[in-house]
Amino acid sequence: MNEVVIFWFRRDLRLSDNAGLHAALLSGKPVLPVFIFDKNILSGLDEKHDRRVDFIFQAVQDLSEQLRSFNSGICIKYGTPDQIFSQLTVQFNIHAIYCNRDYEPYARKRDEQIEQLVTAQGIEFRSFKDQLIFEPGEILKADQTPYTVYTPYANNWKKKFTDKHVAAFSSVSNPNYFTRVPSNDIYSLEELGFFSTDLTYSKPEIPYSIIANYDKTRNFPALKGTSDLSVHLRFGTVSIRQLVSVALETNETWLGELIWREFFMSILYFFPRVTDQCFKPAYEGIRWRNNEEEFERWCSGTTGYPIVDAGMRELRSTGRMHNRVRMITASFLTKHLLIDWRWGEAWFASQLLDYDQAANNGNWQWAAGCGCDAAPYFRIFNPYEQTKKFDKGLEYCRKWIPDLNEVSYPPPVVDHSFARQRALDTYKHGIESGKS
Ligand SMILES: Cc1cc2nc3c(=O)[nH]c(=O)nc-3n(C[C@H](O)[C@H](O)[C@H](O)COP(=O)(O)OP(=O)(O)OC[C@H]3O[C@@H](n4cnc5c(N)ncnc54)[C@H](O)[C@@H]3O)c2cc1C
């Protein structure tokens, strides 16, 4: 059997400007592309009409289609990665496994396990930086510890940045580099225990004119004022190097958002305890009310606060929500309703098409006030003022709440001024007792 090099696709579902794939193709051995639908992850998803799984499925089919023009394809598997690699090592004469690094706690453990498994059989395991411009550990304070505040992190990021960080990895051209892929194991979502959804995968398009005006339009949910690229960044159907190049040419505010993404990845990497704990330990002292009925009203978009309800309904019916509205809904849950940010985080995680553990966790902790670089807890968003500022004509609210002016629309779940004072008292008291 001829030796092959496996390229293991994960959060990098593209052929062009893909660091690990590029390196695999230069290895001199034929490359066998592999994608694994990870049973450990899929079995944790209760909803079987999951747009994320559908997105991945369609993106992988698209890759497979592109690879067909090189007489290749993707070996698509379903199982736990250790089972699959145990099978692949029997099926193929594997020289090495190449992949791009993934920094989430689960992924790190998984990769360590696979590395051990295959190196014990004399197979090399090589991983590459692809998902980020600077990976955790590359941007550190002078004393070599991680930043926990965004602005100095971003300043250092910009200082260290040079054009070489966005040099693209040349795309695939020589068909002989790929190996023929034997028949796939997976042909449909149903074989994974999932169903198709309303999602239609389309390749990312970079909205240059939106990005150019980003600083002026980004806060208005009724406008098409943001890039809508988060899902592509999440699954790597677009290259971060390409996007940073665009940002540098067009809009510094937008570059700042891409840096937030790397900042939160660094936080999760160095402080994995944030997965289920407040970054600021004193905030564990807060006595959350955790009223289940009110939580249900928040989830279903029936709080009687139009901007909150519009966002929650948009989320449920599309898997998307504008950033400004994410901030308002998250603040409302944690401050107005005094429901534990972990409940909200989990709900977003189950619904968001662009769900990303680091960004979701970092932003939830920011909104709840307990995060590394959070706004002070006593700054409480007023949903009415936010609406006046960012959805003055109620265009966004009306889009998602057709019965806004009808009797069927519920009254507010709680009075704003009352809830504000209650949040101030509860937080103050909680943080004090959490300190002791
Ligand atoms: C409570 C809450 C939860 C969130 N959960 C997620 C999540 O699970 N996944 C996710 O990608 N983003 C999350 N965000 C951040 C942000 O809302 C989305 O990235 C953004 O709305 C996606 O739209 P866009 O692609 O048009 O972004 P743009 O505004 O065009 O920004 C470009 C890219 O920068 C990154 N980015 C922008 N804002 C942030 C931010 N605050 N933190 C980290 N990265 C950012 C994203 O990758 C985004 O695609 C969350 C924000 C809040 C307040």
Domains of the chain are: 1-130 (3.40.50.620), 132-166+207-270 (1.25.40.80), 274-435 (1.10.579.10)
Mutation test residue for ligand 1: of 151, 314, 323, the one with most atoms within 8 Å of CB: 323
Quick check: is 341 catalytic?
Answer: yes
Residue nearest to atom 20 of ligand 1 (CA): 323
Query: How far from chain centre, in Å, is Cα 313?
Result: 20
Q: How far apart are CA 286 and CA 77, in angstroms?
A: 45
255-280 confidence digits (pLDDT tens): 999 999 999 999 999 999 999 999 99
Identify the pLDDT of residue 410. 97
Mutation test residue for ligand 1: of 257, 262, 308, the one with most atoms within 8 Å of CB: 257
Q: How far apart are CA 205 and CA 351, in angstroms?
A: 23
Catalytic residue among 184, 213, 323, 382: 323
Residue nearest to atom 39 of ligand 1 (CA): 257
Quick check: is 288 catalytic?
Answer: yes
Residue nearest to atom 44 of ligand 1 (CA): 261
Ligand 1 centroid to Cα of residue 404, in Å, is: 28
Ligand 1 centroid to Cα of residue 415, in Å, is: 30
For the residues of 24-51, what is the DSSP string, one character each?
Answer: HHTSSS-EEEEEEEEHHHHTT---SS-H
Identify the pLDDT of residue 174. 61
Residue nearest to atom 51 of ligand 1 (CA): 363
Position in ligand 1 atom list of the atom nearest CA 232:
49
Whether the CB-CB separation of 101 and 130 falls below 8 Å is answered with yes
pTM greater than the 0.75 cutoff: yes
Ligand 1 centroid to Cα of residue 228, in Å, is: 9
Place of tokens 């051995």: 29
Ligand 1 centroid to Cα of residue 230, in Å, is: 6
Ligand 1 pocket residues where CB is under 6 Å: 218, 226-230, 233-234, 257-258, 260-261, 264, 323, 326-327, 330, 348, 352, 354-356, 359-360, 363-364, 367
Could you tell me which residues are beta bridge partners of residue 3?
93
Ligand 1 centroid to Cα of residue 434, in Å, is: 30
Give the residue among 66, 320, 293, 51 at the shortest CA–CA distance from 173: 66
The segments of the chain whose pLDDT lies below 50 read: none
Quick check: is 323 catalytic?
Answer: yes
CA distances from 5 to 100, 110, 118 (A): 14, 19, 13
The C-alpha angle 224, 331, 360, rounded to 5 degrees, equals 65
Q: How far apart are CA 100 and CA 20, in angstroms?
A: 5
Could you tell me which residues are beta bridge partners of residue 140?
146
Ligand 1 centroid to Cα of residue 69, in Å, is: 35
Mutation test residue for ligand 1: of 333, 354, 364, 366, the one with most atoms within 8 Å of CB: 354
352-383 confidence digits (pLDDT tens): 999 999 999 999 999 999 999 888 899 899 99
Mutation test residue for ligand 1: of 363, 365, 373, 390, the one with most atoms within 8 Å of CB: 363
Could you tell me which residues are beta bridge partners of residue 93?
3
Position in ligand 1 atom list of the atom nearest CA 321:
21
| Number of Cβ within a 10 Å radius of residue 216 | 12
Q: How far apart are CA 7 and CA 98, in angstroms?
A: 5
Position in ligand 1 atom list of the atom nearest CA 258:
34
Whether the CB-CB separation of 239 and 16 falls below 8 Å is answered with yes
Q: Which residues touch 39 (CB under 8 Å, ≥6 apart)? A: 78, 79, 80, 83
DSSP state of 374: P
Catalytic residue among 184, 260, 291, 382: 260
Ligand 1 centroid to Cα of residue 47, in Å, is: 23
Handedness of CA 344, 11, 259, 307 (dihedral sign): negative
Quick check: is 400 catalytic?
Answer: no
| 316 burial via Cβ count (<10 Å: 0-12, 13-18, 19+) | middle
Q: How far apart are CA 131 and CA 129, in angstroms?
A: 6
Identify the pLDDT of residue 68. 86
CA atoms within 13 A on the CB side of 188: 6
